[in-house]
Amino acid sequence: MSWTKRQIIQQAFDEIGLAPYVFDLTADQLESALRRLDSMIAGWESKGIRLGYPLPSSPQNSDLDSETNMPDVAVEAAFLQLAVRLAPSYGKVVSAETKAAAKQAYDSLLVQFATPPEMHLPAGYPAGAGYKPYAIDDPFTSREEQIHVGSDSVLEI
């Protein structure tokens, strides 16, 4: 069982000193934090960090109590980065320790989960000095057009 979006948001508020057991967070504050969490994870997805997080098709379709499906090693990065993003909106200053931990956790995510795009030489490019005539019949590269989806996605045609 993974963390819910609400738990990550509450942990982020706790990190900036607005713990939900002391301060009553309004529904609007929780919804605003949820939109920021969703957009932050969408930004990570665009950088190749695929965590299995269920991104909503629109802000109205996001649910606070849905599970994130994120691995446990990614949860700390999520709530620390969210805390850094939420703090200025509430007049809070994030401690240097929190900023350093957020950066370290995010960098760890980049190492573990980011998949670099596969690079191809353009079609018709000379094969070069490593060309082995017995392995390849054509001394020039050839490339078939491919459609790439993330490791957590399935392409159905």
- Tell me, yes or no, whether 22 lies in a domain: yes
Identify which of 116, 119, 125, 124 has the alpha carbon closest to the alpha carbon of residue 146. Answer: 119
- List the structure tokens of 57: 């098709």
d(CA 85, CA 99): 10
Domain range for 25: 5-113
Specify whether the CB–CB gap between 68 and 53 falls below 8 A.
yes
Residue 64's alpha-carbon distances to 19, 53, 61, 72, in angstroms, are 17, 13, 10, 18
- Tell me, yes or no, whether 73 lies in a domain: yes
- Tell me, yes or no, whether 33 lies in a domain: yes
Around Cβ 76, how many Cβ atoms within 10 Å? 18
Sequence-ordered list of residues with C-beta below 8 angstroms from that of 148, at least 6 positions apart, any chain: 117, 118
- Tell me, yes or no, whether 123 lies in a domain: no
For residue range 90-117, what is the model confidence (pLDDT) as tens digits?
Answer: 899 999 999 999 999 999 988 888 776 6
- Tell me, yes or no, whether 137 lies in a domain: no
- Tell me, yes or no, whether 81 lies in a domain: yes
d(CA 125, CA 136): 14
Residues 112-136: what's their mean pLDDT?
Answer: 65
CATH number of the domain residue 95 falls in: 1.10.3230.20
The number of folded domains in the chain is 1
- Tell me, yes or no, whether 82 lies in a domain: yes
- Tell me, yes or no, whether 150 lies in a domain: no
pLDDT computed for residue 26 by the predictor: 87
Residues 131-142: what's their mean pLDDT?
Answer: 57
- Whole-prediction pTM value? 0.71
Task: Report which residue type is found at 141.
Answer: T
For residue range 41-53, what is the model confidence (pLDDT) as tens digits?
Answer: 999 988 888 888 9
